[in-house]
Each structure stands twice: as structure tokens, then as C-alpha cells.
Structure 1
Amino acid sequence: MSRPRRPARLILTALLAVLGIAAFSALGVWQIERLHWKLDLIARVDARIHAEPVPAPGPADWPGISAESAEYRRVTLSGQFLNADTVLIYTPSDYGPAFWVLTPLARDDGTVVMVNRGLLPEALGRVGDFRKPEGPVTVTGLLRISEDRGWLFSRENDPAARKWYRRDIGSITETLGLSPAAPYFVDAELGDPAAWPRGGQTVVAFRNAHLSYALTWFALAAVVALGAALVFRHELRGRG
């Protein structure tokens, strides 16, 4: 009775092996693609953050701004902070629970750019105990792209209550009635290291484990292939 079942068992083994090898190999190839993307990102960011600052893009350049073309560029801009429209966005940090302090900067050309002035401990943010510069200022920092998409388990923004859980610049500037407003924001560099909010908090070191992930997936594909070969060898020997 066992012999008639062997061809079906071999066919099923072959199908499962092909599916497993294809799936694991595809995941390995995807990780190799991610590896090249991450290496390009690291090289691009490293070159930009050490370059001389350039003027922050104006309205004519806004349509062409993207992560690839502009993010992490050092920029400089001048104007006056609109402190009354400051937005605090909760974030965990090395200082414990904290807020990002985002304040609109009105430039001389009439445009507005949101500036992330840095981190502020939650306790200070609750009572508004932080610097609010008045008068003309010049800010140097890194251009960042709006965080208009949330993560899988991130909380939804509540513009009606003026509560944001990510740096969604379009939503913030629209709610505050700021126009014309840049579609990006600027992470301010560290100024006074003893003052709050504390700039210079941009994460510019990126974990890169894609090669090890790729090798793992390819190894699993090899294990599946080896397992299938052993099954075929056992079955054919048994039939003999």
C-alpha cells in the first residue's frame, strides 16, 4: 500500500520545496536591495550633514523636494518665531518622556517654515517652561520631510484638539492657518547645551543589518533544498 503513495508524497515534497526556496530566496533578494538602499542613504546623509549650510528652499523649490533630493541637507533661514503657534509633539527620548518643540518661523519673504527647536522634558512642557525667543533669529539645521504617514500602531493626529503625535507639517500648518508654508521642517542644530528645548537631536546613525538578514534567508532556502534532497534520496532508496 505504501508504494502508490510515494509519487504523491514526492510531488508534494517538490512543491513545498519549490515554494519554500522561492519565498526565502525572494526575501533574501529583497534584503540585498534594502542593503543597497541603506548604504546609499548612509552615504547621502553623511555627505549632507557635514556640508556648508545653504538657504532653506523657497516656494519655487517646494514641488521638487523629496527625501532623495533634499532631506538632511544643512540649511539656514532667518525670520521671527511665532511662539503663540508652538506645537508640542510627544516623543520618548534619552531624557525620558519629552516633547518635540515645533515653532513656525515667519521669514522676511512672507513664507513660514516649521522649525523643530529640539527636545523638551515632558514636565517642563506641561508648564511651558522653555525659551521663547523674540525678535529676529537665524536658524541652522537639517531639512526634514514631513511625517504625514503614521506607523502601524501610532496614534492618529487630532488637529481639532491641536494634538499631533507625529511631525505632520501639512496638517499642522493648515490647522494653524499658516500660509504659504513650506512642506518640510527644519531640525535646529544644538545651541546652548544647557537650555531647553535642546536642538541637535536628529538621528543620523542608521542600523544596517540587511546583509545578515539576507544571509539568513538564503541559508533557509539552502536548508529547504537540502531537506528536499534528503527526502527524495530516502524515498528513492526505499523504492529500490
Structure 2
Amino acid sequence: MSADSGRPARRRASTVLFVVLGLAALAILLGLGTWQVQRLHWKEGLIATIDARIDSAPQPLAAIEARLAEAGDVDYWPVSLAGTFRHEGERHFFATHKGHSGYFVYTPLALDDGRLVLVNRGFVPFDLKDAATRPEGQVEGRREIAGLARNRVDGKPNSLMPDNDPEKNIFYWKDIGAMAASAGVGAPGDYLPFFVDADDAPNPGGLPVGGVTLVDMPNSHLQYAVTWYGLAAALAGVMGVWLWRRWRTPAG
């Protein structure tokens, strides 16, 4: 048998292999595109939900607690509450605000019934971390607070994030248990299981700078979907041209 006699078989085998691999790659690209479309719908729904919540009227603290008990989610619901700040328990959360690095100041607010809630009063720059450098903002007496309820975080968001350092009072993720335990104000069980981000009402002396809640949620899933579907279309075109030329070229 001559060498030429095996060429048709090898040609058929290479064609089958090309088609199988091409179809597998095409399925992956289409799957990725479809996944991004699903993510697009999910993100649009999430943004619409957050927008609707933020635009709603502030609710009393009891209503927020009831929502948490019923749905387990109070993120971005406007809330109004009152109490006395316990400034000695300030917790400092590493953050950036309008291009500047510093800390969000979380302060225990003692409610009338004796319970506590950690309120994110706003941003201070690095050199004003020490509360003694901004005495005007350490407001005394009973205060009316308005802001947004924020869910607790049940675990470290990712392995790349630094560990919290309660001894130095520097937190990189919102571990409500560690923040409450290290505050030295009340017991961890006295704290409500969510945070409140204060609104942008000015504090005496201008610090902390309130209204720091981030609600900007990038939505690039449509571009990603177009990219994956575009690659799938390009691959389908390449496969079609290759197979057409293969069919047009004699096997011998």
C-alpha cells in the first residue's frame, strides 16, 4: 500500500478533530456570552432594587429590624434613629474617599433602650485618625441620625484582603463582631446585627465627612456578552471558511 493511500483517512481524521475542537470552543464562547446576559439581567435588577430603596422614605429603626428578621437583608434601606454616641469606642475602617486615603469612623450609638448600633459617621484623613485631633466633631448628647442601613459581612471577602488589626484599631473588612468586641463599649451581644451609614448632614468642625455610602455599581456585562458572542461568531466564520476550502481542495 502506498503512502498516498492513507491520505484520505488522515484528512478525514484531521477534519473531524478540527470540527470537534471548534464546536467545543464555540460552545464555551456561547456559554460565556449567555452567562454574561444572565449577569446583566441580575445586575440591572439589583441596581433597580437599590435605587428604589434609596429613594424611599426613611423608616424607623424598628421597621428595619423587622425587615431584617423577615428577609435577612436591609442593605440601602433609609433609616432614622436616635441615641448618644460613645466616642471612646470609635472603630476605624481603612477607606478612600474622593481620591484621598484615610478611615471611615464607626462609632457605637447607644439607643434609648440600652442597645448599641455601629454608625459609620464618615471619612477622616490619615493624620486625623486620633479623635483628639478633631474634638469639634465629637458631638455630645442625644442625636437624631438619618442614613442607610447596611448588611453585616459574614466573612472576609477574599484572601487578598489584609487581616483586620483590632489592637491597632484598623479594620479592612466590616467584621461586626470584632469591631463590637474591641470597642470597649457594651458587650458584642448588645449590638444590632447591621450597620448604619450616616447621611451627609455636616458634623461640627467638618469631620467626619458624612454621606460616604458607595452606591456606584459598574455594569459592563453587556460589553462582555457582546465580546464573547463576537468571538463565537468569528470562530464560526473561521471554521466555515476552513471547511469550505477543505471541501474545495481535492483529497489527493
Normalising by the residue count of structure 1, what TM-score does the alignment of the two structures yield? Answer: 0.89
Aligned to 2:13: 8
Compared CA separation, residues 76 and 171, structure 1 to 2 (3 A): same
Distance 1:108 1:212 in 2: 50
Within 2, Cα distance between the matches of 1:31 and 1:7? 36
What residue is the counterpart of 1:133 in the other structure?
A: 139
Whether the 8 Å contact between 1:102 and 1:114 is mirrored in structure 2 is: yes
CA RMSD after TM alignment: 2.2
SS of match in other structure, 2:93: strand
2:216 paired with 1:205: yes
Whichever residue aligns with residue 199 of structure 2, its letter is E
Q: Which amino acid aligns with 1:32?
A: V
Counterpart of 1:165 in structure 2 is: 172
Return the index of the structure with the highest Cα Rg: 2
Q: Give the match for residue 79 of structure 1.
A: 83
Code of the residue aligned with 1:173 in structure 2: it is A
Which amino acid is 1:232 matched to? L
* AA of the residue aligned to 2:45: D
Gaps of at least 5 residues in structure 2 are none
1:108-147 superposed matches below 5 A: 108-126=112-130, 128-130=132-134, 131-147=137-153
Q: Match for residue 33 of structure 1?
A: 38
- State percent identity of aligned pairs: 33
Q: Tell whether the 8 Å contact from 2:59 to 2:78 is kept in structure 1 after alignment.
A: yes
* Cα displacement (A) at 1:106: 1.4
Match of 1:219 among 215, 230, 233: 230
Structure 1 62/47 Cα, relative in aligned 2: closer, same or farther at 3 Å?
closer
C-alpha distance in structure 2 between counterparts of 1:50 and 1:128, whole Å: 36
- Count, aligned residues: 238
Counterparts of 1:46 and 1:77, CA distance in 2: 21
Q: 1:215 to 1:95 in 2, by over 3 A?
A: closer
Pair 1:41–1:24, CA change in 2 (3 A):
same
Letter aligned with residue 149 of structure 1: K
TM-score, normalised with respect to structure 2: 0.85
**Helix, strand or coil: the match of 2:206?**
coil
- Equivalent residue number for residue 160 of structure 2: 153
How far the C-alpha of 1:83 sits from its partner, in A, is 0.9
In structure 2, C-alpha distance between the alignment counterparts of 1:205 and 1:39, rounded to whole Å: 13
